[in-house]
Amino acid sequence: MKDDRPSSILDNPTLYEGTYLEFLGFKLITWKEGYTKLEMPVRGEHRNTVGYLHGGVIASLLDIAGAVAGSFGVSEEFVSVTINLNCNYMSPHKAKTVIAEGELIRRTTSLFFAQAKIWDPENSRLCATAIGTSRFRSIGFRSAIVAGNINSTQFYSILCCRSNYFLCYLG
Lowest-pLDDT range, 1-5, 39-43, 118-122, 127-131? 1-5
Contacts 24+ apart (CB under 8 A), 27-35: 28/68, 28/168, 28/169, 31/1, 31/5, 31/68, 31/69, 31/72, 31/168, 32/1, 32/72, 33/72, 33/73, 33/104, 34/69, 34/72, 34/103, 34/104, 35/69, 35/72, 35/101, 35/102, 35/103, 35/104
- Least Cα distance to 119 among 159, 170, 70, 61 occurs for 61
Q: Is the pLDDT of residue 152 over 50?
A: no
Query: Three-state SS for 141?
Result: helix
CB 80 within 8 A of CB 67: yes
Q: Which fold has domain 13-163?
A: Thiol Ester Dehydrase; Chain A (3.10.129)
Q: How many residues does the chain have?
A: 171
Coil, strand or helix at 50: coil
Q: What is the mean pLDDT of residues 114-142?
A: 88
Statement: residue 146 has pLDDT above 60 = no
Give the model's pLDDT for residue 15. 53
pLDDT at 128: 98
Going by C-alpha positions, the residue among 38, 134, 51, 125 that lies closest to residue 90 is 125
Q: Is the pLDDT of residue 137 over 70?
A: yes
Distance CA 121, CA 134 (A): 28
- pLDDT at residue 3 is higher than 60: no
Residue 54: helix, strand or coil by DSSP? Answer: coil
Residue-wise pLDDT for 52-93, tens only, equals: 999 999 999 999 999 889 887 665 566 778 999 999 999 999
Residue 87: how many other CB atoms lie within 10 Å: 16
Planar angle of CA 75, 78, 84, nearest 5 degrees:
125
Q: Mean pLDDT of all residues in the chain?
A: 77
**Mean local confidence (pLDDT), 121-140:** 89
Query: Residue ranges of the domains in the chain?
Result: 13-163
What percentage of the chain reaches a pLDDT higher than 70? 67
Would you state the pLDDT for residue 17? 67
**What is the C-alpha to C-alpha distance for residues 51 and 45, in angstroms, rounded to an integer?**
10
Q: Is the pLDDT of residue 117 over 90?
A: yes
Mean pLDDT of 82-106: 96
Q: Is the confidence at residue 154, as pLDDT, over 90?
A: no
Mean pLDDT is lowest, of 4-18, 32-46, 142-156, for: 142-156
